[in-house]
Amino acid sequence: MLALDDTIAAVSTPMGEGGIGIVRWSGPEAETILKRVFLPAGRPRDSTPESHRFYYGHVVDSDSGVTVDEVLAVCMRAPRTYTRQDVAEIHCHGGIVALRRTLELVLRLGARLAEPGEFTLRAFLNGRIDLTQAEAVLDIVRAKTDVSLRIAMQQLDGCISDQVREIRSMLVDALAY
């Protein structure tokens, strides 16, 4: 059984070389881990980041003092996040080694590796999205055509959920009558 009270982390962009790669983590230790792994430029390491604001700086291994990458970092406080938990992200250069090292640091500082789909599972369990919307997330990721993307986006926006609520309301009214 997966816990909801721990902090999970994963690389959120496809593996391979690219311009940008994102390491994301969610849970009660998100901000604490960010403060330990990220050294903001021109600010004290332990300064409190403003929610939903990007900061420029470096990922630094706190044990060795070695700089891993030049990055952007953001801390997003609950409940205004995808999972409705505190979330932090590091936007690294998209090389495999930089992403792997950054993720390793986050895991070493107390997060655990997220299972596939676990961020969306937390969004569902925390009431941010319903089951049809959670399914739509995967449909968006897997969309191969503009039409399939449009349909998945309608589902994510709650089109199916609204229809189910309307039918449920009619059935409850009929039962009450």
User: How many CA atoms within 13 Å lie on the side-chain side of 94?
Assistant: 10
Q: Tell me, what's the pLDDT at 74?
A: 98
More confident residue, 166 or 34: 34
Torsion 31-36-38-43 (CA) sign: positive
Cα separation of 160 and 95, whole Å?
39
Structure tokens at 10: 């994963």
Contact 138, 129 (CB under 8 A): no
Distance of CA 169 to the CA centre of its chain: 34
Instruction: Inform me whether the pLDDT recorded for 3 exceeds 90.
Output: no
pLDDT digits (tens, 9 = 90+) for 136-169: 999 999 999 999 999 999 989 888 888 888 898 9
**Mean pLDDT, the chain, whole residue set:** 93
Give the pLDDT of residue 1: 66
- pLDDT tens per residue, range 108-141: 999 999 999 999 999 999 999 999 999 999 999 9
pLDDT > 90? residue 88: yes
- 39 vs 19, 72, 109, CA distance in Å? 21, 10, 15
Cα 99 to chain center, whole Å?
15
> Tens digit of pLDDT for each residue in 6-28?
999 999 998 888 899 999 999 99
Residue 2 has pLDDT above 80, yes or no: no
